[in-house]
Chains A and B, each alone.
Chain A
Amino acid sequence: MNTNTPDPHVVKEALLKAYPTKLARKRDQQIVINDVAPDGTVPEVKANTRTAPGIISQRGCTYAGCKGVVLGPTRDIVNIVHGPIGCSFYAWLTRRNQTRPPTGNSENFIPYCFSTDMQEEEIIFGGEKKLTKAVEEAYMLFHPKAIGIFSTCPVGLIGDDVHAVARAMKEKLGINVFGFSCEGYKGVSQSAGHHIANNQLFKHVIGLDDTPHPEPFTINLLGEYNIGGDAFELENLLERCGIKLVATFSGNSSYDFFANSHTANLNAVMCHRSINYVAEMMEKKFGIPWVKVNFVGADATAKSLRKIAAFFDDAGLKQRVEEVIAAEMPAVLAAQAVAKARCTGKTAMLFVGGSRAHSYQELFKELGMRVVAAGYEFAHRDDYEGRKVLPSIQVDADSRNIEELHVEPDATRYLPRVDEARAARLAAEGFTFKDYEGMMPEMEKGSLTIDDISHWESERLIELYKPDIFCAGIKEKYVVQKMGVPCKQLHSYDYGGPYAGFKGAANFYREIDRMVNSRVWKTIKAPWQTTGPRLTATFEKG
């Protein structure tokens, strides 16, 4: 167990010293020693900027954020990747988006990989013809209700117009066909892809089906991707509380849910980074307010359920929420007590995603563990410092390349969900909308916040801190473990989960206990490699 952490200034210097001057200057602004002022202000961190060429980064590309993250988990859209084979191949079933089609015959295209498998000929003469054929063949084979087309790097360069193909096919086939200009080189990370995906979902799908819901308490869950069954857990919780879930963007999700999602009364945002655009646009166009929730951690789950209940301000709902929390908590606390006794005081580092490095800190706190360093792979400043810094974020050339949709209130369907009187009442109760405070205000003084951490920096951090657990992704996992430190994947959950909600929290406690206390870490040295003083003494005596 490691109770003493090194001086963060010394650590920072050690991280920067290998870099060429210009790069060191840049990284200096992305490695921040945390210090929360009494008013909640935190130091500025440079984020959402380019990774220096040559740096071994965790980041992926725009296509990955668009196709892989946001659109991938929806079971009934045929997602055709327009490009050479690799892009579609690598995104084939690798993100663990679980889905549960209503019947054994219902549409589920998630186990399939669709590609135009572009060849040199198409690079030279254009690939629109092959793409058109591919869409027609997909229709002929599967008759889906919707087809998405995803552009990969060369598509943008050779000038194939995927949107024109989509329009033509939509007309010809009579189903919804839409394209995404999500070429890998756009933006600086997956984040640009999330934005592009949000835009197209908003333009082409959301709002197509006005069927109202009779239930009084209707919400959408935004930024929940059902990794390891998280969404199943949350669906169950919400249902027991009497909250009707209209759509989840995008986990266990269906095209039909998206089309109807504008009928909900509240958007509850989990992963702020990947989906806040949809939340903002739905508010502007349809008047649906949004709140930040976090269903990672038992306390956070309870708090989020209470927040939703507070929004609807209904005594019956509030009571049901309390009953569900009361029913769930004993098992969670029992699991927590067992794990906490074995984990407390240990240290953790989290370098992952655009929200998980924050949300998972809850679970470590519940285990009595300290988070000594954390950072995101593709987040923006607001995810670190809170949305209050939004006005001061400078839009650079890379972000300007991503379309910002201009959204106006819908002429007939704009309906504010909260009138002025209720807004005042909620405000008086301390209820806040659009309220993401970011990761840093919740981190302890002297901890490190590192944006877009590099392989070099991770290795040094582990050497200097010797944390008890490191959380990252598949590319980092085995590096960390070679150093004798367990690494929990927080993208794929190491094929476990769910970790959301109450049952998820209990799963996570057990998992972290298993990992930090695994006997394997004690077997790294062979018995003959430990030359303790007792052996020497025995020898001398003998």
Chain B
Amino acid sequence: MLLRHTNPEVIEREGLTINPAKTCQPIGAMYAALGIQGCLPHSHGSQGCCSYHRSTLTRHYKEPVMAATSSFTEGSSVFGGQANLLQAIQTIFAVYNPRVIAVHTTCLSETIGDDIPQIVSKAREEGKIPASKFVIHANTPSYVGSHVTGFSNMTRNMVKYFAERTGVKTNRLNIIPGWVEPSDMREIKRLAKEMGVEIVLFPDTSGVLDTPLNGKYEMFSTGGTTVEQLKSTGDSRATIALGPLASSAAAEALDTQCKVPCEILDLPIGLTATDRFINTMRSLGGITEVPVSIMEERGRLVDVISDMHQYFYGKRVALWGDPDQLVALAEFLVSLDMKPVYIVTGTPGRKFEERLAPILAEAVPEAKFKQGAGADMFLLHQWIKNEGVDLLIGNTYGKYIARDEDTPFIRHGFPILDRVGHSYFPSVGYTGGLRLVEKILDALLDRKDRDAPEESFELVL
């Protein structure tokens, strides 16, 4: 057994987190910043933070992930990181020449108390920031919240730094996709186009973290939300924020700053969440009728669910990962008549429980879920050891539980370090729902085929 020391007896822990279901803020800020066109994320801290975040994102995407660092030494930790950041800004524009530098802090620079806007304005005074270039920032102390918080903070600050209200409204909708994959962002754009709604999507990592191999490396791809698009978000007619924990801060900032009204929805994963997304796009976009093509996509998903319902029914599922993803997944599983019995996320935030509790209350009253301190994969595994499940859904770290407990496993969420596909095939929208359904069926039916006695090994399922 790989996790041979995991004992089923649950004890309350106050100090020790084991096998976390979260990581720290800065990596979320880095991921979000990669969704701005021509942007180089910058980690204001020790080299290791930047190196670890880049490595993790690279392993997840099998793509180049570029970011710079303030390379703190003991001296900077004593005297503050101003000199490092000033030099970094100068070096970055001289050598790598991005359009935007997106600085995020770390536990180190936060504990020191570096004031990033003050340092950036000093850089501007000293002529270190060329005209038409931008340096934005987000405070992302690693000891607050999680990677999702970091994504949310950087996305919100895209609004703070760029959104402008010219007084002339456009017909566009802003869509904040939440922490989803490039494939999902691409799919959201496709759905909007299919609906006939003009949108600004931000951040947008499609075209950034799924670039083609063509023999040339472009440090700044043509993907990502442009500065001009970000500026224009203040004039849009409304904002749709997908995933309350990752996206509502930016949507609310747009409302406060530019009076752009917002709707905060769940991530459009699964049938009903996608329905709400399409319906909201319809009403906010002033579309009278949802196009036939989208109705057909929806119908195909419903069709497959009804065709294969017997295999979903009553199956017990354990989930871990990020709150916005978990809420939407749980709702989808319940709609398939599956039972998401165990759910953990290390990310704190009331919105998770508020959304999840009503989804599970009637359908899966036996469900256990926990978030924040103590909600880790060690606890989840202990629950599983006490009463097993039929399926695991979560990031790659679940493969250790899957192997030890001999339980089918679907990779979903962040990080996925050992499979490809998430960058290219969406899990949002009706098409994404189909993909999830296919994955669930593959996992469950492969297991059924493996375990069936010879006499009841079935050709047709």
Interface residues of A, Cβ cutoff 8 Å to B? 18-20, 23, 50-64, 80, 83-94, 104-105, 107-109, 111-120, 122-123, 130-138, 140-142, 152-154, 156-158, 183-189, 397-398, 401, 454-456, 459, 473-475, 477-479, 481-484, 524-525
Contacts and interface: CB of A to CB of B under 8 A. Distances in A.
Contacts of A152: 107
Contacts, number: 265
Contact of A86 (B2, B5, B23): B23
A124 to B, nearest CB: 10
B19 A184 contact: no
B354 to A, nearest CB: 22
B221 to A, nearest CB: 10
Interface string B86-109: 011111101110000000001110
A50 B71 contact: yes
B227 interface: no
Contact of B77 (A115, A156, A474): A156
Nearest to B59: A474
B52 A154 contact: no
B64 A478 contact: yes
A56 B45 contact: no
A80 B55 CA distance: 22
Interface residues of B, number: 84
Interface string B148-183: 000000000000000000000000000000000000
Question: What are the nearest 3 A-B pairs in CB distance?
Answer: A61-B48, A133-B15, A86-B24
A455 B92 CA distance: 12
Contact of B5 (A56, A90, A109, A117): A109
A107 B71 CA distance: 37
Nearest to A455: B66
A35 B68 CA distance: 33
Given A56-B68, A153-B107, A119 B74 contact: no
B143 A62 contact: no
Most A-side CB within 10 Å, residue of B26, B47, B378: B47
Given A90-B56, A184-B48, A53 B71 contact: yes
Interface stretch (B6-14, B191-199, B263-271): B6-14
B350 interface: no
Interface stretch (B209-217, B251-259, B428-436): B209-217
A22 to B, nearest CB: 9
A18 B16 contact: no
Contacts of A64: 48, 51-52
B55 A475 contact: yes
Contacts of A454: 95
A137 B15 contact: yes
Interface of B: 1-5, 7, 11, 13-20, 22-24, 26-27, 42, 45-49, 51-56, 58-59, 62-77, 84-85, 87-92, 94-96, 106-108, 111-112, 141-144, 146, 211, 213-217, 219, 346, 373, 378, 397, 400, 417
A384 B54 CA distance: 27
A371 B283 CA distance: 63
B71 A57 contact: yes
B51 A482 contact: no
Contacts of A87: 24, 48, 52
A84 B95 contact: no
5 contacts: A19-B94, A83-B142, A116-B15, A141-B5, A482-B217
Contact of B69 (A57, A109, A115): A57
Given A157-B108, A475-B58, A133 B16 contact: yes
A107 B5 CA distance: 8
Nearest to B211: A482
Contacts of B62: 478
A137 B16 contact: yes
A61 B108 CA distance: 13
B52 A484 contact: no
Nearest to B12: A137
